[in-house]
Amino acid sequence: MDEKQHSALEGLEERKIKEIEHSRVRRKILQGSERHADTSRADEADDLERLIRDKEAFKKHFANIKFYSITELSENYQLDWMRSRCTPGAAVLDFACGNGENGIFAAQCGATVMGIDISPEGVENANQNATEAGVREHCGFEVMDGENMSFADDTFDLGVEYGALHHVDLPAALSELARVLKPGAEMICVEAMRHNPLIHAYRKRTPHLRTEWEVDHILGVESLDLMRQYFGRVEVKFFHLAALAAVPFRRTFLFRPLRAVLNQIDKLLLSNQFIGKYGWIMVITIADPIKNRPAT
């Protein structure tokens, strides 16, 4: 860790230090995109060896990645959102960037990107991945605490994050996001939900995959009300309930047709707001940050 990174992390609370240590283990195992590196591929030929540095450790610490084999609908929704907005001239914040896949995609769409993460290993991976993708000139990543960002007010036109808001103190992070995003800015947030008892029971049974803080702070639909205190517009779409039944078949010829059928069922089921909260993932658009919000 260089002097600048060390300075950015001085005085952190214990919960954040635990997040850094947890991330360090994961980022040293996997350089690439977490949600695109299914455990079913870990034994395949050499195409993943550059990105997965320890296949046995990968199987242990990324055992839940198999579930991302069914996230086609939410992934496409997010990517379409980014393609339509991350155009040349747009300044994009990749919040809690991890290994940088969202920021790199935004840069490939033409935007200028700055990503931040509390993990030095994640930031190192992200910058290396940006270089390899040929976008490093307009896509950079820095070690920074998302609850205390060093950016000036009204810096970014757009924001993007994936699975990060349950790692942070949500009011503190939302306050900072509302500060650094420009008036009228938009941000897309992809988050797991806590309402499904079977999904949450799996989280409780696999403590090595996540921190204690993370498990206790998975978002729920009530989190949307908190977001409305910081942003004038908050919209949500729910994804992935029936489609989870396809996961055990992901290495068989049945997987794609089964997933397609279950995706159609999910489109019907999860359009209902009551049923929707029992899905796995929600994609939230927050927009129109509220400036000069009274202190509470």
Per-residue pLDDT of the chain (296 residues; tens, 9 = 90+): 555 554 555 667 777 777 777 666 566 555 555 544 444 433 433 445 555 555 665 655 465 678 888 999 999 999 999 999 999 999 999 999 988 999 999 999 999 999 999 989 889 989 999 999 999 999 999 999 999 999 999 999 999 999 999 989 999 999 999 999 999 999 999 999 999 888 878 777 776 666 677 777 889 999 999 999 999 999 999 999 999 999 999 889 999 999 999 999 999 999 998 999 999 999 999 999 998 776 55
Q: Given this model, what pLDDT does residue 208 score?
A: 64
Q: On the CB side of 87, how many CA atoms lie within 13 Å of its CA? A: 3
Crossing angle of helices 101-108 and 72-85, in 10° steps, is: 40
Largest CA distance in the chain: 56
Q: Given this model, what pLDDT does residue 66 score?
A: 80
Contact 147, 172 (CB under 8 A): yes
Q: How far apart are CA 46 and CA 282, in angstroms?
A: 34
Q: State the burial class of residue 58 (Cβ atoms within 10 Å of its Cβ: 0-12, 13-18, 19+).
A: buried
User: What is the pTM for the complete model shown?
Assistant: 0.84
Token output for 292: 């000069």
CATH class for the domain made up of 3-289: alpha beta
